[in-house]
Structure 1
Amino acid sequence: MTRSPTPRRTYVPHTLDADAVRIWCGLALDALGRAREDIDAINVYPVADGDTGTNLYLTVESAAQAVDAAFDGHPASSGAARPSLADVVRAMAHGALIGARGNSGTILAQLLRGMADVLAEDGDGGEGGGTGGGDEADGLRRALRRAVDLAYLAVAHPVEGTVLTVAVAAAEGAERATGDLGTVARAAYEGARAALQATPGQLDVLARAGVVDAGGYGLVTVLGGLAEALSGEAPAAPPAAPAIPAPASASPLTAETGAGPVDCSADGPAFEVIYLLEAGDGAVAGLRERLDALGDSLVVVGGDGLWNVHVHVDDAGAAVEAGIQAGRPYRIRITHFGAPAERRPAAPEPGRPERRPDGPSGERATRAVVAVVPGDGLAALCAEAGATVVATDPGKPPGGSELAEAIRRAHAREVVLLPNDAELRHPAAAAAAQARAEGVRVAVIPTRSPVQGIAALAVHEPARSFDEDVVAMTSAAGATRCAELAVAEHRSWTMAGVCQAGDVLGLIDGDVAVIGTELARTAETVLDRMLAAGGEMVTLVLGADLPDAIAERLERHVREGHFAVDTIVYRGGQPSAPLIIGVE
């Protein structure tokens, strides 16, 4: 699943164009992935349920996926016109709307929609087009101001010292700045950063906890991605504020089980209700009134017939019924704040039966394993071992939402998640955090390759206690060194020197260690290097087009050159890598 190495490049656009928006989404998502646990840890308002960072990550992930889809619909190789700025910002706003999670995620979706309204109008009609010339900095100023205006309209009872205050400061910082687009973006970020530091003085609950606002921290992180995308310079980090200890980061091969959210206050409504709603503007006005009378933290965002509704209530059924009266609600999610984690189910969608495992009562299984795999052969192998499989396509790794859905599909009280790809660390962690909020005990074993996942599955034993099983699976994965062969797509600098397009690359533990011109010979060199450090078992996972003759040659090479080392071969069928190697 590892992609051929590409030198890290910083793209510095001269205009706010489609490419800049795509880079912004990628930078923001990566930054939120790194900050997710810290943001969760300082989440004390409006409910101390420890999920703001996760919700923001999943919201931006949905926006980024929608932007990628807009580019996929205009592949450069097809000769089709590149997507315009209007295409991409509308996709971003729509993706954020349908993927918005929690109070802060819903407000962020509305902020992005407000920006998209202005940027789409400015950039409509241009191929990949930006706002153009000297108007681009002014376009960003107007976009940020429009974002603030829409966000305040969406929140029933705005509170200062929250993400809204931080958004206002970003717009004001941009309006005060003079200079080019990058200068204005950095000024917006610095204004938001300063406002974030002041939030404890505006909201008593933050002051008592000794933290800044979690939603505001997330918005500053997103604006940092924008500033970097438009200026090419990474801005200063947001202020480090968590007085509440964040969970310790997992070591590279230590299972991440999570400590769970901070305790929720007994005060306030019992349920969080979120759903998408198809309805007209007039019906939504009445819905706001009904929901405002039922609870608090009401945020309704969207437009053009599609809305995302978020509210905290004591009567969850009444909140859903209000949506039914207004239009067609779907993707309904209900979280009980006060219940212990193991009793927080996700509500099934209307008309969609609840998933039930085999058995007369449909109760949850005790334990399940969810494994991400890149090929049909690997999928069949893992499914035969009892895992719930998430299949991947080349260049389209699953997001946190997709992994969270796979955990739900496993329908177990305890789940072990095997991402089998180093690039899935952040999505896997976000999916696990969301599943824990729904009452599932989840451990993420940060497997970097399918061969580590195979090793973990081989020692999985549901009869053991959860902790013992996780330790055994983690140890088996950690004892498996992994390698992969890939074909270079272009000339590039690597750890092993300069490679040319078409060269065969041998990657050991993610780094290019061998550059060759012939696949079998390169694989033999990789095997010799790995086995020089010892080993008892070699696993070869063959790609979709790798001939059996090469596998036979490699088996013979191991047998003749490395005494007492066994070899096992799987036809993995993965399209992305011709060969994956594991050594235990």
Structure 2
Amino acid sequence: MPHEPQPHTLDAEAVRTWSSLAVAALGRAREDIDAINVYPVADADTGTNLLLTAESAGRALDEALGDVTEGTPPTSLARAVRAYAHGALTGARGNSGTILAQLLRGVADVLGEEPAPREPGPLLARALTRAAESAYAAVAHPVEGTMLTVAAAAARAGRTAEAAAGNAADVARAAYDGARAALAETPGQLAALGRAGVVDAGGCGVVAVLGALWQALSGQEPAAEPVRGRAVPVPQPPEPCAHAQEGPGYEVIYLLEASDESVATLRTRLDGLGDSLVVIGGDGLWNVHVHVDDPGAAVEAGVVAGRPYRIRITHFGDERRRARGERVQRAVVAVVPGEGLAGLCGEAGATAVLARPGEVPAAAELLDAVRRAHAREVVLLPGAAELRAVAAAAAEQARADGVRVAVVPTRSAVQGLAALAVHDPDATFDEDVVAMTAAAGATRYGELAVAESRSFTSAGICQAGDVLGLIDGDVAVIGTALAETAEAVLERMLGSGGELVTLVLGPEVPDALAERLEAYVQHGHLAVDTVTYRGGRYCAPLLIGVE
């Protein structure tokens, strides 16, 4: 006769098991959750974002548990849950992933207390309550019928079980059941869900994570039958998102190092720029998520508040077309050095990854962007020579997911713009990649930078403060003024011919420089056209492309 499974201790190993089971549960449910994602934006990525956030949390937890050498004391519950929550904070994706990260932070705020509890049931109930409260506080305008509602119901059910002298497994089971019941009610609470005939996608993720917690503490697997909506058993009209509001055009996410006071001001500023604002974190590190029409302003607000990094800007165009039933076969992902360039890529239908000077995006960030594109075929534009290896690694991982990926070896943002200009989603994949590669290869690229110290270059010795004119990655001109150096670089680049000059201005460069350079080109090269863009913060003073 089989033995009844015994409750497990609420310790670091239980957190590791919870993490592993949560990733597995979200992995199984990812496509189903994506399919019912209609709120707040019908971009079919809630399941993917929840999974990526849980994977990031799990990696941080594994690092915390894995660096203990033989003979040292085991990792405490407090350290484990804090590492788990920190990994979710730094790797949170999208609106749903950001809220999940805040839920885990709330759990860690309570379970992170020392010493380990003798009666973990009441502590877990308090942790679930703190999780729901902190998630509500992180969202600028909480809406009922969402994953917030599901988390709050789970916390109430957990407190009821704790009051009945339940242990940690009993509290987790009650929270799981309470979340399932609340999820089933979400179509009646939120009009967008009711019209589509689906339950809340983020709420499905909360149910999956709580089911994993109960399994980790009890040793019992949740019931095989899917939660309503998890496997999309509810009826859906042909265009479930037809009534969804268009809303802002961009999603902006970044990590931010800033004080509590600065973040309070940032919340107010971002709330006036867009919607779906969620700011999570504390102790000097925050994760900021917002939907806006002006991504540059959202990033600028972060710069005023502190130090933003790992900036991601995503255009919603393709996601909304997909939600209306227009399938996207192919997508483009481009790495760019400024939010202005990210906006240009978004207008062209590409997903942008924003890279700050001196910071090379990890392969995981590029893979995340590829996954967010939700396409069978993806063209990846790394935008810098040092990113080719990272792009290749991301492409290899994406191919393992069944996505066909090609890396066009762009070495500058202006080559990426040239490739995007000839991108043809109606052509075959190979034809499109060949055309984009040819356009990038036919574009010479230049850049102006300011020397930080005295050094030797291919054009001679430069002093700190000199203006360096680079052509195809090598220093070709050393000057003392931006305008004169730019003219010298243009003259050399146009010496071998050209039909179009692209100028991308950095944040501190005046419009007068663009006007001067346009006049310079027209005077000496009548048949050459010139276009000018603003690159945005973090962009070099001047980027030049000659096609």
TMscore range, shorter length: 0.5 to 0.7
Q: Identify the match of residue 104 of structure 2 among 109, 112, 117.
A: 112
Check conservation: 1:49, 1:262, Cα contact below 8 A.
Answer: no
Structure 1 residues 313 and 12: alpha-carbon distance in aligned structure 2, compared to 1, 3 A threshold: farther
Structure 1 residue 167: Cα displacement = 0.2
Structure 1 residues 401 and 220: alpha-carbon distance in aligned structure 2, compared to 1, 3 A threshold: farther
For residues 63 and 337 of structure 2, what CA distance do their matches in structure 1 show? 25
Q: Identify the match of residue 177 of structure 2 among 190, 195, 205.
A: 190
Q: Determine whether 1:215 maps to 2:202.
A: yes
- Report the secondary structure of 2:277's partner residue: strand
Structure 1 residues 20 and 350: alpha-carbon distance in aligned structure 2, compared to 1, 3 A threshold: farther
Check conservation: 1:49, 1:337, Cα contact below 8 A.
Answer: yes
Structure 1 residue 265: Cα displacement = 4.6
Structure 1 residue 137: Cα displacement = 0.1
Q: Deviations over 1:277-332 (max 9, x none)?
A: 11000000000000001111000000000000001111111111111110011111
1:84 corresponds to which letter in structure 2?
Answer: S
Aligned equivalent of 1:153? 137
Aligned equivalent of 2:193? 206
For residues 288 and 264 of structure 1, what CA distance do their matches in structure 2 show? 29
2:305 corresponds to which letter in structure 1?
Answer: A
Q: Deviations over 1:344-371 (max 9, x none)?
A: 64564669x99xxxxxxxx9xxxxxxxx
Aligned equivalent of 1:142? 126
2:293 corresponds to which letter in structure 1?
Answer: D
Q: Determine whether 1:39 maps to 2:56.
A: no
Q: Determine whether 1:64 maps to 2:58.
A: yes
Structure 1 residues 139 and 266: alpha-carbon distance in aligned structure 2, compared to 1, 3 A threshold: closer
Structure 1 residues 399 and 221: alpha-carbon distance in aligned structure 2, compared to 1, 3 A threshold: farther
Q: Deviations over 1:382-418 (max 9, x none)?
A: xxxxxxxxxxxxxxxx9965744799995389x9999
Q: Deviations over 1:478-507 (max 9, x none)?
A: xxxxxxxxxxxxxxxxxxxxxxxxxxxxxx
Q: Deviations over 1:102-129 (max 9, x none)?
A: 10100000000000000011xx25xxxx
What is the root-mean-square deviation in Å for CA atoms of aligned residues?
3.8
Aligned equivalent of 2:381? 411
For residues 187 and 369 of structure 2, what CA distance do their matches in structure 1 show? 36
Structure 1 residues 419 and 228: alpha-carbon distance in aligned structure 2, compared to 1, 3 A threshold: farther
For residues 402 and 89 of structure 1, what CA distance do their matches in structure 2 show? 27
Q: Determine whether 1:172 maps to 2:142.
A: no
Check conservation: 2:334, 2:380, Cα contact below 8 A.
Answer: no
Q: How does 1:347-366 map to 2 (within 5 A)?
A: 348=336
- Report the secondary structure of 1:275's partner residue: strand
Structure 1 residue 272: Cα displacement = 0.8
The TM-score, its normalising length taken from structure 2, stands at: 0.59
Structure 1 residue 71: Cα displacement = 1.2
Q: Determine whether 1:14 maps to 2:8.
A: yes
For residues 47 and 56 of structure 2, what CA distance do their matches in structure 1 show? 14
Q: How does 1:181-580 map to 2 (within 5 A)?
A: 181-236=168-223, 237-241=225-229, 242=232, 265=244, 267-339=246-318, 345=333, 348=336, 403-404=367-368, 411=381, 429=401, 442=405, 465-466=428-429
Check conservation: 1:137, 1:181, Cα contact below 8 A.
Answer: yes
For residues 100 and 191 of structure 1, what CA distance do their matches in structure 2 show? 25
- Report the secondary structure of 2:25's partner residue: helix
Structure 1 residues 419 and 137: alpha-carbon distance in aligned structure 2, compared to 1, 3 A threshold: farther
Q: Determine whether 1:29 maps to 2:23.
A: yes
1:70 corresponds to which letter in structure 2?
Answer: A
Check conservation: 2:149, 2:182, Cα contact below 8 A.
Answer: yes
Identity %: 60
Check conservation: 2:36, 2:198, Cα contact below 8 A.
Answer: yes
Q: Which residues of structure 1 form unaligned runs of 5+? A: 1-9, 126-130, 247-260, 355-362, 364-397, 433-440, 444-463, 469-584
The TM-score, its normalising length taken from structure 1, stands at: 0.56
- Report the secondary structure of 1:206's partner residue: helix
Structure 1 residue 14: Cα displacement = 3.5
The higher relative CO (CA closer than 8 Å, separation ≥ 6) is in 1
Structure 1 residues 324 and 85: alpha-carbon distance in aligned structure 2, compared to 1, 3 A threshold: same
2:195 corresponds to which letter in structure 1?
Answer: R
Check conservation: 1:276, 1:329, Cα contact below 8 A.
Answer: yes
For residues 428 and 153 of structure 1, what CA distance do their matches in structure 2 show? 39
Q: Which residues of structure 2 form unaligned runs of 5+? A: 322-327, 343-347, 349-361, 372-377, 384-390, 407-426, 432-547
For residues 94 and 349 of structure 1, what CA distance do their matches in structure 2 show? 27
Structure 1 residues 296 and 465: alpha-carbon distance in aligned structure 2, compared to 1, 3 A threshold: closer
1:83 corresponds to which letter in structure 2?
Answer: T
For residues 290 and 419 of structure 1, what CA distance do their matches in structure 2 show? 37
Q: Determine whether 1:90 maps to 2:87.
A: no
Check conservation: 2:8, 2:216, Cα contact below 8 A.
Answer: no
For residues 173 and 364 of structure 2, what CA distance do their matches in structure 1 show? 29
Structure 1 residues 416 and 94: alpha-carbon distance in aligned structure 2, compared to 1, 3 A threshold: closer
1:82 corresponds to which letter in structure 2?
Answer: P
Structure 1 residues 36 and 263: alpha-carbon distance in aligned structure 2, compared to 1, 3 A threshold: farther
Structure 1 residues 218 and 235: alpha-carbon distance in aligned structure 2, compared to 1, 3 A threshold: same
2:106 corresponds to which letter in structure 1?
Answer: G
For residues 214 and 317 of structure 2, what CA distance do their matches in structure 1 show? 39
For residues 241 and 382 of structure 2, what CA distance do their matches in structure 1 show? 23
Structure 1 residue 142: Cα displacement = 0.3
For residues 36 and 430 of structure 2, what CA distance do their matches in structure 1 show? 27
For residues 344 and 467 of structure 1, what CA distance do their matches in structure 2 show? 14
Check conservation: 2:332, 2:381, Cα contact below 8 A.
Answer: no
Structure 1 residues 107 and 214: alpha-carbon distance in aligned structure 2, compared to 1, 3 A threshold: same
Structure 1 residues 243 and 207: alpha-carbon distance in aligned structure 2, compared to 1, 3 A threshold: farther
Structure 1 residue 264: Cα displacement = 9.7
1:203 corresponds to which letter in structure 2?
Answer: L
Aligned equivalent of 1:507? none
Structure 1 residue 335: Cα displacement = 1.0
Structure 1 residues 182 and 328: alpha-carbon distance in aligned structure 2, compared to 1, 3 A threshold: same
2:20 corresponds to which letter in structure 1?
Answer: G
- Report the secondary structure of 1:31's partner residue: helix
Structure 1 residue 32: Cα displacement = 0.5
For residues 223 and 349 of structure 1, what CA distance do their matches in structure 2 show? 39
Structure 1 residues 312 and 183: alpha-carbon distance in aligned structure 2, compared to 1, 3 A threshold: same
For residues 406 and 343 of structure 1, what CA distance do their matches in structure 2 show? 8
Check conservation: 1:272, 1:337, Cα contact below 8 A.
Answer: yes
2:307 corresponds to which letter in structure 1?
Answer: R
Q: Deviations over 1:128-174 (max 9, x none)?
A: xxx332x2000100000000111111000000000000000100110
1:94 corresponds to which letter in structure 2?
Answer: H
1:292 corresponds to which letter in structure 2?
Answer: D
